Amino acid sequence: MTSLPRILGTLVVSPVFLVVATPPSPAAELVSPNGRITVTVAVKERLEPWPTGRRLYYTVARDGRTLVADSSLGLDLDGQAPLARDLVIEDEGWRSFDETWQTVVGKSRDVRDHGNELTLSLREAREPGRTLQVVFRAYDDGVAFRYVLPEQPGLEEFRLAGERSEFRFTGDHEAWAADYGSFASHQEAEFPKTTLSAMAPSAHVGLPLLVRAGEKAWVAITESSLRDWAGMYLGGTGAPGALVSRLSPRHDDPTVAVIGKTPHVSPWRVLMIGDDPGRLIESNIVLNLSEPLAIEDPSWITPGRSAWDRWWSGDWAPAADFEIGMNTATMKYFADLAAEMGWEYVLVDWTWYGPIEDFETGGVRDCTKPIAAVDVPEIVRYANDKGVKVLLWIFWTHMDQKMDEALALYERWGVSGIKVDFMARDDQWMVDWYQTLVRKAADHKLTVDFHGAYKPTGLRRAYPNLLTREGVLGNEYNKWSDRVTPEHKVTIPFTRMLAGPMDFTPGGFYHATPATFEARDSRPWVMGTRAAELAELVVYESELQVLCDSPDAYRTSPVGVEFLKEVPTTWDETRVLNGAVGEYVTIARRSGERWFLGSMTGTEGRTLEVPLGFLGGGEWTIRSWADAPDADAHPEKAVESRRTVGAGDTLTLKLAPAGGQAVILEPKDGP
């Protein structure tokens, strides 16, 4: 039986999309459809010093166990008293909803949006009597809330100094957190294991934040539908287990975070909740809370894989009658690789319109004028003749200076997408800029890949031409650091990836063990085995997978190339089969009738048993790329095999240290 919203223990029938107004009450209770999650919202006398007076608090429980307790909500307005105290509930609105929609690209095709919603209308009991609404939603896989500032006398315009959204966990739990150290960053960092109490009030803890809140209780905090607002971070409050939101200040006026007019809504503050962290990977709550499709005909949007010149230095290229570098001949060389592999794209990266000397401002460059050595229309013609599309890299300030002109020009050239880089901010102005660029890119039928970017917040539902973004510590770091460790690679699926796609740039074909690895710009390595590098194409969600290595690397070391030719980047279904944060993970994703499986482990080798019941029935042909018996010493070695299995069988995965396995399963009679 589907659970319905409850007010003070009394069931209130709320059919799909029916809003039910109820008399105001001092407390209300919202229940998820399956009845396991309960959100209790109440106005109470203050429980801690900030600010005085009656305030709005919420509590989240699952299976009767409190996870987040008496967490206060409120807004700090510049030049005015906080909109948080001496509140009374004037009205309550209830709604239940249940619909299924389809993604254009993503980790699952059909998405069910099923939940219950409570809207509280509040007013200050003292002058000036300002009003505020707070909307709560309860899903089977989490809870979300957002602020609504209604249009009202005296608050036609507002300047928001900060937001006081608290997350008071019931204990000093383990957490996996990335502290970016600043509001201005590329959001590329590790997510080390820590505790909630270790997070200082001055911290810049990015989202998502993963918390182990108890046995069979995992919570991740993130945000969705970030529009015309500032990006959210977290800091400690000084109380054990308690965190509070911190908003990125505006770049042009650091005294405030948001400047706006009423009516105005905040992003959703999201608590993803599951029995284990794998359930959070499967969740679509971020997309369900986002704006629906805004492109009338998205049929032109093409997910896929791309060849990429920039990670590879080219100094060991085979003899050629051209100079390897940023020139038309080299771009054709990489287009040839994409055509050989059946990949959809080739990426023409930075310096095609001149070198970048200033990575803060971009310097003075014109992104509509290629250097003499690069003929973009000719590269497009050559690549298109081979069935390959072209992507162009642009520094964001150069795009900002000539956005309309540049996008129109790229469309005339026949370019299919853009990679925009070095924003390194998520203040309100930059958030709006992302929206504008993605919308205008769609008008010119261009896909987008953001680098130097903040985490995803669901914009890709409205604009699925936004195929991926960075905001992740990925393979490029192997050129100058030893930070991309096996443990890091099996932590980010449970942390950064919860927010959405990440452009990790997998596919390195020169391998080292953790003990023998050394960073090098020339002919860079990856830390881990060939099979693990293949598995990343399944484990890591990215509707655009940019394969990092060179034509030479793939042509001279072919083990696993067939997998790279076949693995898709968009999926009908995703299932996490096992995993432990920072230790190992196994994910299966379905495309049509075929399943692709990727499994990875940290520096500890392990054997995993994977029941194949998810296949449904019948006999299946399995093709596998597994670690060789001596892969712990020779990580470039992998073993290809083929056999028949049944849906009732169990697949044994033997993973070397820093190893993995990549698998294709298809019905025995073929798809």
558-615 per-position pLDDT tens digit? 899 999 999 999 999 999 999 999 999 999 999 999 999 999 999 999 999 999 999 9
**What does the alpha-carbon distance between residue 311 and residue 521 come to, in Å, rounded to a whole number?**
8
Six token digits for residue 55: 């305030």
Compute φ and ψ for 666, nearest 5 degrees. -140, 150
Q: 177: pLDDT confidence band, cut at 50, 70 and 90?
A: very high
**pLDDT value at position 25?**
54
**pLDDT value at position 310?**
87
**What does the alpha-carbon distance between residue 41 and residue 136 come to, in Å, rounded to a whole number?**
9
82-120 tens-digit pLDDT: 999 899 999 999 999 999 999 999 999 999 999 999 999
Q: Where in the chain is the domain with CATH 2.70.98.10?
A: 6-288
Strand partners, 6: 11, 29
- The topology (CATH level 3) of 6-288 is Beta-galactosidase; Chain A, domain 5 (2.70.98)
For residues 467-475, average pLDDT: 98
541 residue type, one letter: E
Percent of all residues in the chain with a pLDDT value above 90, rounded to a whole number: 90
For residues 218-239, average pLDDT: 97
pLDDT(48) > 80: no
**pLDDT value at position 634?**
97
Q: Which of 602, 584, 586, 606 is nearest to 485 (CA)?
A: 602
| Cis? peptide before 667, omega within 30° of 0 | no
Specify the CATH number for 477-500+512-539+572-671; select among 3.90.870.10, 3.20.20.70, 3.40.630.30, 3.40.50.300.
Answer: 3.20.20.70
235-254 tens-digit pLDDT: 999 999 999 999 999 999 99
- Cα 253 from chain centroid (whole Å): 28
For residues 329-343, average pLDDT: 97
**pLDDT value at position 554?**
95
**pLDDT value at position 319?**
52
pTM of the predicted protein model? 0.94
Six token digits for residue 112: 């069910």
Percent of all residues in the chain with a pLDDT value above 70, rounded to a whole number: 93
**pLDDT value at position 47?**
63
Task: Give the 3-state DSSP-derived string for 429-473, with helices as H, strands as E and coil as C.
Answer: HHHHHHHHHHHHHHHCCCEEEECCCCCCCCHHHHCCCEEEECCCC
**What does the alpha-carbon distance between residue 102 and residue 104 come to, in Å, rounded to a whole number?**
7
Question: What count of other Cβ atoms lies within 10 Å of the Cβ of residue 355?
Answer: 10
**pLDDT value at position 314?**
53
**What does the alpha-carbon distance between residue 257 and residue 242 come to, in Å, rounded to a whole number?**
22
Q: Where in the chain is the domain with CATH 3.20.20.70?
A: 477-500+512-539+572-671
Six token digits for residue 344: 């959809």
**pLDDT value at position 605?**
98
Contact between 588 and 653 under an 8 Å Cβ cutoff? The reply is: no
